[in-house]
Amino acid sequence: MSQTLPEFDFDGFLPYRMTVVAARLSAELAQHYKSTYGITTAQWRVILNVGYSGAVSVRDIEKKFNLEKSKISRAAAKLEAEGYITKEIDRADRRLVKLQLTPKGAQLLSELVPLAKAYQRKLEAELKGNLQGLQSALDILTQKEPPQG
Amino acid sequence: MSQTLPEFDFDGFLPYRMTVVAARLSAELAQHYKSTYGITTAQWRVILNVGYSGAVSVRDIEKKFNLEKSKISRAAAKLEAEGYITKEIDRADRRLVKLQLTPKGAQLLSELVPLAKAYQRKLEAELKGNLQGLQSALDILTQKEPPQG
DNA sequence: AAGCATTCGTTGCATTTGCAACGATGTCAA
DNA sequence: TTGACATCGTTGCAAATGCAACGAATGCTT
């Protein structure tokens, strides 16, 4: 029984907690658009980036969203095939691919965003006074650390 | 250019932020054990659960960690093959599989946990006064909602 | 200008994943 | 007891994933 393991506060362990909550939020949000609009989570993330983040290349999205570039590339290919975005070679640096919403993509996004905003409002209402603390904590954890710590 | 999209605070959107931070924390932690101990993230999660969470069945871990039961089943099979855990049919309910650490598994975990604790301490130091607010927020977001909201 | 290293996005491929279906077991009601 | 239904864990299989390798393009140094 007692395996003489070191003491460890499993329930307060942040990588564990963050993973569980992040998966829950993404899944709960996905419920709202997956069946209705027939897009995957990866596609949703890419189209959201293209529309809002100022990210225009695969590389930008990779950095910003921490997504594998191959995953982005394939999601973008599907979105292009379905007419939601265009892919165009950047004239200043022809290694880059400029991603842009088509009118159809903008239309889709303009329908999806209210869902996202409503979900965000719901979360903020649940969090009440803890919202600011959460955002501050996420700010800190988002900062890249310097190589030497 | 201006696609007349609705206003949207992309950078403050919680499902996005949580996903990015959670992935970062898990990856950063994984750096510390992946190469040295040759276990995957899923295996780490299962062995941690078996050792600390009071979870004894696949179903328990599924609920607790929000992991797919097939993923747990396969990770557990590997851990058993490598001698870190045992699988035993529960005598009270023979549908259940009781997972337990072997001495070898306890040994591995006793080496891994200090890494986890050190990482947790590092995060807590970064967070300073925001730690409590973060944990409170995670408490709230962890609660399951009743079916009708 | 030339050569070499680096960056970007795609693709091949082996592995992992998620979903559904399944067998085995358990529960419950009649 | 029986039969219908629910739950648990595994597995088959198609799809998704991550990694490395690659071609194309760029930057950097001389």
The pairing of strands B85-89 and A97-101 is: unpaired
Give B56: exposed, middle or buried? Use CB within 10 Å, 0-12, 13-18, 19+.
middle
- Please indicate whether, in this complex, the C-beta atoms of B24 and A141 are within 8 angstroms of each other: yes
Q: Cα–Cα distance between A12 and B140 in angstroms, integer?
A: 13
Query: Which residues in chain B have their CB less than 8 angstroms from residue A133's CB?
Result: 130, 132-134, 136-137
Helices A103-127 and A131-142 pack at an angle, to 10 degrees, of 120
Residue A122 domain-assigned (yes or no): yes
Q: To which H or E segment does residue B86 belong?
A: strand B85-89
Number of C-beta neighbours around residue B142 at 10 A: 12
Residue A28 domain-assigned (yes or no): no
How many angstroms separate the CA of B94 from the C1' of C30?
Answer: 26
Residue A23 domain-assigned (yes or no): no
Q: What is the pLDDT of residue A31?
A: 84
Q: Which of A34-38, B41-45, B127-131 is predicted with the least confidence, judged by mean pLDDT?
A: A34-38
- Please indicate whether, in this complex, the C-beta atoms of A140 and B120 are within 8 angstroms of each other: no
| pLDDT higher than threshold 80 for residue A30 | yes
CATH number at residue B65: 1.10.10.10
Residue nearest to nucleotide D11 (CA to C1'): B70
What is the average pLDDT value for chain B, to the nearest integer?
89
Residue B55 domain-assigned (yes or no): yes
Vertex B137 angle, CA B136 and B138, to 5° = 90
Q: What is the pLDDT of residue A146?
A: 39
Vertex A118 angle, CA A113 and A121, to 5° = 125
Q: What are phi and psi of A79, to 5 degrees?
A: -60, -35
Residue nearest to nucleotide D20 (CA to C1'): A70
Residue range B25-73, pLDDT digits in tens: 988 898 888 878 888 888 998 999 999 887 689 999 998 877 899 999 9
Residue A10 domain-assigned (yes or no): no
Residue A65 contacts B, CB cutoff 8 Å:
yes
- Please indicate whether, in this complex, the C-beta atoms of A113 and B19 are within 8 angstroms of each other: no
Residue range A93-139, pLDDT digits in tens: 999 999 999 999 999 999 999 999 999 999 999 999 999 999 999 99
Q: Which domain holds residue A46?
A: 41-130
Q: To which H or E segment does residue B99 belong?
A: strand B97-101
Q: How many domains does the structure of chain A reveal? A: 1
Residue nearest to nucleotide D27 (CA to C1'): A93
Q: Which of A18-27, A82-91, B133-142 is predicted with the least confidence, judged by mean pLDDT?
A: A18-27
Residue B67 domain-assigned (yes or no): yes
> pTM here?
0.87
Q: What is the pLDDT of residue A148?
A: 31
Residue B106 domain-assigned (yes or no): yes
| pLDDT higher than threshold 50 for residue B146 | no
Residue B114 domain-assigned (yes or no): yes
Closest residue to A51, CB basis, from B5, B25, B65: B5
Which nucleotide has the least CA–C1' distance to A77? C10
Q: Cα–Cα distance between A84 and A46 in angstroms, integer?
A: 11
Q: How far is B69 from chain A (nearest CA, A)?
A: 15
